[in-house]
């Protein structure tokens, strides 16, 4: 069957802001919050159309960039896009028949094409009229033009709900579980194939068969919980996992000795009308319980949901993500092998970046990839280290630094095409090189491969902020921050930046106050600007003096740091102006 034609649809009759508002309304609805596949499909085709790239909307691009298929996808053999398109059309029809009946703009996916069409709903007032009515104002076109912030705020809130539903399992535990019919359950809990080998330098989590107290009700599957946990942990590049119930007898004991081994014990108890779920992570060698949690009980009302999967993803994200439980525990264990310790140092660097630490991390990673050329996560981390060499000027060496960064990121993807961390490295490298389309495509792939890694979610949000897409980036950053209290300071800087550029002074001030330490130049920028806005000239001067100590070139070129970070021109000019007003140009770069 031939791939569907994709004519370019003119979207000019409906303003872009109204189209994005319409998209946010749909994505925030109950039906779409519980259907990540449909949400990803719809978001992809709408955004591509708004970017003027509707000709790229084909079955192959939808499958590989929105639905998680790899580059070997064959649209002739795999009907996933056609099936999801039918589901999407039905879901849109249902939405506009029910909850979205009064929406001012309707989004349709016409049969015979995957390119969306947009039209005003004649039966409903326009977005402009709704806003005027809500504020008791006359229907003057100029008023909306002067108050676009309201639409942006509404979009940000709707996107925050979407991001939470898609990417934060803990949010799902509070607000309700996803439907078993959304396609996520089948894809995620399929039993993984046995790994052919384990790296001796990465920690290993052995997921034990579930322990039960009392007979489990038919509507809750302990087996699905175990499989879901194992699959979710397997998506994190820095941790290995073995599902003991899926492995041959004695398989765990016959494996080569891992750097450190942990046992994950899941317990279920039938409490008459609910199932209580608890988890414990045990360091095998010492027997120490390094983490434990009791989760919200699951009731029979969850019989048609993916409650087991949602619990699994929450457990996996908590223990396996960077700055999570296992990372924290291994930092205090001196026996950790040098390869893992080097990788841990690379993540820890972002909590306190200095020139000395950068040299240590970069040299260590170069030695690791020379000894372990198949270590994809180390290659990806080396790409980040090369980017930092370019952005900060730390330990700069002759040669094309950005080319080295790109080579390391591409090597990581070549080694492990399904590695989320490798695609995250490509996101950052392409962005700093000014290759924005390639950057955001890599970011989407990274997040598709591991939607539970808050480091990736925050990184993609930060790139949106740097590209002046504040409504897209801020919800991602806020949700990533909520999902990992141990996040590095750069996350708060980008929250500050997005809030500052959109006039949310309270949020900007709050974000800057969370940035501690005097080693991060961007953090010092945020603190100086916030202090100046508060009228605290002494505090602003302290931050600026430290900034000039770290980046003395800023005294001659206040735009230098921001240009190296590839910020959009309006951001560069705004920050340079803010620093000048705070007193930067009156200072001399001297070390204290």
pLDDT given at position 434 = 92
Pick from 591, 576, 171, 55: nearest CA to 355: 591
Give domain status of residue 394, yes or no: no
Q: Which residues pair with 205 in a beta bridge?
A: 241, 262
Does residue 373 lie in a domain region?
Answer: no
Residue in the block written with tokens 């001796």: 200
407 in any annotated domain: no
Same domain, 187 and 235: yes
**307, part of any domain:** yes
Looking at the fold, whether 239 and 103 belong to one and the same domain comes out as no
Q: What's the DSSP call for residue 321?
A: S
Q: Are residues 299 and 206 in the same domain?
A: yes
Name the domain count of the chain: 3
Cα separation, 578 vs 588, in Å, equals 17
Pair (162, 136) in one structural domain: yes
Q: Given 293, 321, 349, which residue is the final one in a domain? A: 321
Rg (alpha carbons) of the chain, rounded to whole number: 25
Our measurement of the distance from residue 106's CA atom to the centroid of its chain's CA atoms, rounded to an integer in Å, reads 28
Q: Is 332 helix (H, G, I), strand (E, B) or coil?
A: coil
β-pair partners for 211: 267
User: pLDDT value at position 18?
Assistant: 84
Q: What is the pLDDT along the chain (592 residues), one digit of tens a residue?
A: 344 433 333 334 788 878 888 888 888 787 776 677 788 899 889 988 988 888 889 889 898 888 877 778 887 777 888 888 888 988 898 888 887 888 888 999 988 889 999 988 765 444 344 433 433 333 333 323 334 444 444 444 444 444 443 444 333 333 344 444 443 333 333 333 333 457 788 999 999 988 888 887 777 777 888 888 999 999 999 999 988 877 666 655 655 555 588 999 999 888 877 888 899 999 998 899 999 998 877 777 665 556 777 888 889 999 999 989 999 898 888 777 888 889 999 999 998 889 999 999 999 999 999 999 999 999 999 999 999 999 888 888 887 889 999 999 999 999 999 999 999 999 999 999 999 999 999 999 999 999 999 999 999 999 999 999 999 999 999 999 988 878 888 999 999 999 999 999 999 999 999 998 888 899 999 999 999 999 999 999 999 999 999 888 888 899 999 999 999 999 999 999 999 999 988 775 444 4
Measured between alpha carbons, how far is 320 from 325 in angstroms, rounded to an integer?
A: 7
Tokens of 104: 């001012």
pLDDT at 251: 58
Give yes or no: residues 232 and 110 share one domain: no
| Residue 71 located in a structural domain | yes
* Residues 157 and 38 occupy one common structural domain: yes
- Give the C-alpha separation, 99 to 477, whole Å: 29
Interacting residues of 11 by C-beta distance below 8 A, sequence separation 6+: 19, 49, 50, 118
DSSP 10-63: P-TTS-HHHHHHHHHHHHTSHHHHT-HHHHHHHHHHHHHHHTT-GGG-SHHHHH
Residues 126 and 99 reside in one and the same domain: yes
Residues 6 or more apart whose Cβ sits within 8 Å of residue 530: 496, 508, 509, 512, 513
In a domain, 218, yes or no: yes
Of 111, 141, 167, which closes a domain? 167
Say whether both 163 and 197 belong to one domain. no
What number of other Cβ atoms are within 10 A of residue 126's Cβ?
Answer: 17
Residue 191 lies in a domain: yes
**What pLDDT was estimated at residue 97?**
84
Identify whether residues 162 and 51 lie together within a single domain: yes
Q: Tell me, yes or no, whether 75 and 203 share the same domain.
A: no
Whole-angstrom distance, CA of residue 539 vs CA of residue 555: 18
In a domain, 106, yes or no: yes
Tokens of residue 21, six digits: 């508002």
Q: Quick one: tokens of 186?
A: 């089948």
Number of H helices, E strands in the chain: 28, 8
> CATH number for the domain including 263?
3.40.50
Model pLDDT, residue 335: 74
508: domain range?
489-592
Do 219 and 285 belong to one domain?
yes
Question: Among the three residues 167, 194, 214, which one is the final residue of a domain in this structure?
Answer: 167
Same-domain check for residues 156 and 193: no
């Amino acid at each position: 069957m031939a791939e569907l034609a994709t004519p370019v649809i003119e979207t000019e009759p409906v303003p872009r802001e109204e189209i994005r508002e319409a998209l946010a309304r749909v994505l925030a609805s109950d039906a779409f919050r519980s259907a990540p596949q449909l949400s990803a499909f719809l978001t992809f085709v709408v955004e591509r159309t708004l970017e003027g790239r509707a000709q790229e909307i084909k079955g192959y691009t939808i499958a590989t960039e929105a639905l998680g298929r790899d580059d070997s996808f064959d649209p002739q053999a795999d009907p996933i896009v056609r099936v999801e398109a039918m589901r999407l059309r039905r879901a849109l029809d249902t939405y506009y028949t029910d909850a979205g009946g009064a929406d001012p703009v309707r989004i349709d996916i016409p049969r015979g094409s995957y390119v969306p069409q947009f039209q005003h709903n004649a039966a409903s007032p326009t977005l402009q009229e709704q806003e005027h009515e809500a504020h008791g104002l006359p229907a003057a076109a100029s008023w909306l033009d002067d108050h676009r912030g309201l639409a942006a705020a509404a979009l940000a809130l709707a996107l925050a709900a979407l991001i939470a539903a898609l990417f934060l399992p803990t949010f799902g535990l509070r607000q309700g579980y996803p439907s078993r019919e959304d396609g996520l359950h089948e894809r995620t809990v399929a039993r993984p194939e046995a790994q052919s080998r384990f790296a001796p330098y990465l920690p290993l989590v052995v997921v034990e068969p579930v322990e039960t107290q009392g007979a489990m009700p038919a509507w809750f599957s302990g087996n699905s919980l175990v499989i879901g946990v194992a699959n979710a942990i397997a998506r994190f590049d820095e941790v290995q996992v073995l599902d003991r119930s899926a492995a041959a007898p004695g398989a765990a004991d016959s494996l080569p000795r891992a750097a450190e081994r942990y046992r994950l014990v899941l317990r279920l108890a039938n409490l008459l009308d609910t199932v209580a779920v608890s988890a414990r992570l045990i360091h095998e060698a010492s027997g120490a319980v390094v983490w434990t949690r009791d989760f919200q009980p699951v009731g029979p009302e969850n019989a048609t949901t993916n409650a087991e999967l949602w619990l699994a993803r929450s457990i996996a994200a908590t223990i396996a993500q960077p700055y999570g439980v296992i990372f924290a525990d291994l930092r205090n264990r001196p026996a950790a092998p040098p390869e893992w310790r080097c990788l841990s140092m690379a993540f820890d660097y972002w909590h306190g970046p200095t020139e000395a630490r950068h040299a240590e991390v970069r040299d260590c990673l170069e030695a690791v990839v020379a000894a372990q050329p198949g270590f994809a996560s180390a290659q990806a981390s080396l790409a980040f280290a090369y980017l930092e060499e370019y952005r900060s000027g730390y330990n700069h060496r002759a040669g094309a630094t950005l080319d080295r960064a790109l080579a390391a990121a591409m090597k990581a993807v070549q080694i492990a095409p399904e590695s989320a961390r490798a695609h995250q490295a490509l996101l950052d490298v392409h962005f700093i090189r000014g290759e924005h389309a390639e950057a955001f495509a890599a970011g989407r792939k990274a997040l598709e491969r591991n939607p539970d890694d808050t480091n990736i979610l925050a990184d993609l949000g930060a790139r949106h902020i740097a590209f002046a897409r504040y409504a897209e980036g801020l919800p991602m950053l806020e949700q990533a921050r909520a999902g990992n209290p141990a996040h590095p300071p750069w996350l708060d800087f980008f929250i500050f930046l997005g809030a500052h550029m959109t006039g949310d002074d309270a949020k900007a001030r709050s974000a800057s106050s969370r940035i501690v330490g005097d080693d991060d130049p961007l953090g010092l920028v945020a603190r100086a600007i916030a202090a100046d806005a508060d009228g605290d000239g002494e505090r602003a001067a302290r931050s600026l003096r430290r900034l000039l100590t770290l980046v003395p070139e800023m005294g001659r070129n206040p735009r230098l740091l921001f240009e190296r970070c590839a910020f959009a021109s309006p951001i560069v000019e705004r920050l340079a102006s803010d620093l000048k007003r705070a007193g930067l140009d009156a200072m001399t770069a001297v070390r204290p």
